Amino acid sequence: MEIDLSILNPKARSLVGVDISSSAVKMVELSGGGAVQYQLEGYAIEPLPEGAVVDGNISNLDTVTDSVARCWKRMATSTKYVAMAMPTAAVITKKIILPAGLRESEMEIQVESEANQYIPFALEEVNLDFQVMGPSPSGPEEVEVMIAASRKEGVEDRVACAESANLRATVMDMESYAALSAFELIQAQYPEGKTETFALVDIGANAMKVAMVKGDQMIYNREQAFGGNQLTQDMVRAYGMSHEEAENLKRTGPMPDNFEAEILQPFLDNLALEVSRALQFFFTSTQYSEVHHIALMGGGALLPSIADIVADRTQVDTFKANPFANMSFAQRVRPKNLLNDAPSLLVACGLALRRFDQ
C-alpha cells in the first residue's frame, strides 16, 4: 500500500492517533472540535519489549504488531483508521520558493526537481509530500512550499504494523509536528502563551529531545543522548535484575527501600542538569536569551518530583505537559490515571488532532 506523508493535509475522518516509540505503543482518540470543545474518547498505552523499536526503526515487526493490536483492543473503539508518525530524524524537510499560481501537476514536477537536490536517495525510494505554506516573504508572486520525504521502508513498516493489526493508516506525520500540534493546546492554557518562549523537553527511553517554541514556530531543536533507560540500567546494576524486570518494577513497584535516595535522586539530578545544558546550548547558538516555561513530556516526565527538580536547577517555571487539561472526557476515561499518563501522550494526541484538519 502506498501512503503519502500527508503532513499538513489529510482527509478528514475519525482517527486514532498511534505513537510507536522505543518503549511503548500509545493511542488517543478525540471527538468534538470546531466550535465544540474537544472530548477525549479514550487512550491506551501498551509497553514494548526492549529492542522491538531501535532508533525509531521497527526491528521486530511481529512484536510491535501484537502490541498495536492489544493497545487498540484496550481502546475499545470501533474506529480503525489511524494516524501514525515517523521519527523526526527519519524525515527530510525543506522549505522552497515556487512561482504562485502553478497548477498542482505543475507544482509536483517542480517539487520533484527541487527534491532531487536535497534528498540523498533516489525518489523512487522515498515517500514525498509537499504543502503550500503561504505567500513568500519576498512578495505575492511567489509561494513558500514545505517538502517532506522519508525512506519508504520506514513508512511501510509502520503501515504494515497497522494493517497486520486490522487497522488502516491514512495519515503519516512527523513526531515533532504531532507534538507541536498537541502543544498548541498547552500553550493556550497560558494568557501570554503566544508571545512567550517554551522549551518542550521530551524525555524518551534513549534520548532527550528539546524543542524551543515561540508563537506557532519551532525556533530551535536539539537531541541529547540521555533518557529513561539510564535509570533502568542503574537499577539493573544495583539490584542484579534483567532489563525487563527493572522496567516492570518501574511500572508496578514497590521499590526497594534505598531506591529513592541512591538510584532515583541521582538520576533526576542528572536529568535536570541535561535540561539546563540544553537551555545553555540554545542561548549560546541563537539570539534568544530567555525561556519562560519548560514543558516536560515523554515517559521520563512521569517520574515523581521531576518538574520541581528541573525548576530548581534552571530557575524556569516547569510543568508536566497535559494537552487534555481543558477537554471533557468520555465516561471510561479515568481522570486520575490520565493526569499521570498525559505527558507521555503528546505525540498520540497530536496525531488524533489530525481528524480536525481542514
pLDDT at position 6, please? 47
Could you tell me if 207 and 353 lie in one domain? no
Task: Identify the CA nearest to 328 among candidates 315, 316, 338.
Answer: 338
**Domain CATH code at residue 234:** 3.30.420.40
Could you tell me if 134 and 246 lie in one domain? no
Could you tell me if 53 and 82 lie in one domain? yes
pLDDT digits (tens, 9 = 90+) for 109-128: 988 888 888 888 888 888 88
Could you tell me if 13 and 119 lie in one domain? no
pLDDT at position 120, please? 82
Asked whether the beta carbons of 274 and 226 are under 8 A apart, the reply is yes
Mean pLDDT of 259-271: 94
Mean pLDDT of 309-330: 96
Beta bridge partners of 318: 294
**Longest Cα separation, the chain:** 68
Fill in the amino acid letter for 209: K
* Number of structural domains in the chain: 3
**Domain CATH code at residue 104:** 3.30.1490.300
For the chain, what is the mean pLDDT? Answer: 90
Cell 540544553 -> residue: 278
Could you tell me if 127 and 69 lie in one domain? no
For the record, the C-alpha cell of 214 comes out as 515561540
Q: Which residue has the higher pLDDT, 358 or 328?
A: 328
3-state DSSP call for residue 211?
Answer: strand
Cell 519576498 -> residue: 138
Could you tell me if 5 and 141 lie in one domain? no
pLDDT at position 8, please? 43
Whole-number Å distance between alpha carbons of 285 and 168: 42
Q: What is the CA radius of gyration of the chain?
A: 21
CA 300, 301, 307, 312 dihedral sign is positive
Structural domain including 259 reads 191-321
Q: Which residue has the higher pLDDT, 5 or 176?
A: 176
Whole-number Å distance between alpha carbons of 258 and 63: 34
pLDDT at position 358, please? 62
| pLDDT(11) > 60 | no
pLDDT digits (tens, 9 = 90+) for 267-305: 999 999 999 999 999 999 999 999 999 999 998 898 889
Beta bridge partners of 40: 30, 329
Residue 10: pLDDT band with limits 50, 70, 90: very low
Could you tell me if 231 and 313 lie in one domain? yes
CA 305 remoteness from chain centre = 23
Could you tell me if 275 and 168 lie in one domain? no
pTM of the model: 0.87
Cell 539490584 -> residue: 239
DSSP states of 204-238: -SS-EEEEEEETTEEEEEEEES--THHHHHHHHHH
Could you tell me if 203 and 344 lie in one domain? no
Residue 342: pLDDT band with limits 50, 70, 90: very high
Could you tell me if 133 and 224 lie in one domain? no
Could you tell me if 163 and 115 lie in one domain? no
Cell 520533484 -> residue: 112
pLDDT digits (tens, 9 = 90+) for 85-114: 999 888 888 888 999 988 888 888 988 888
Could you tell me if 347 and 266 lie in one domain? no
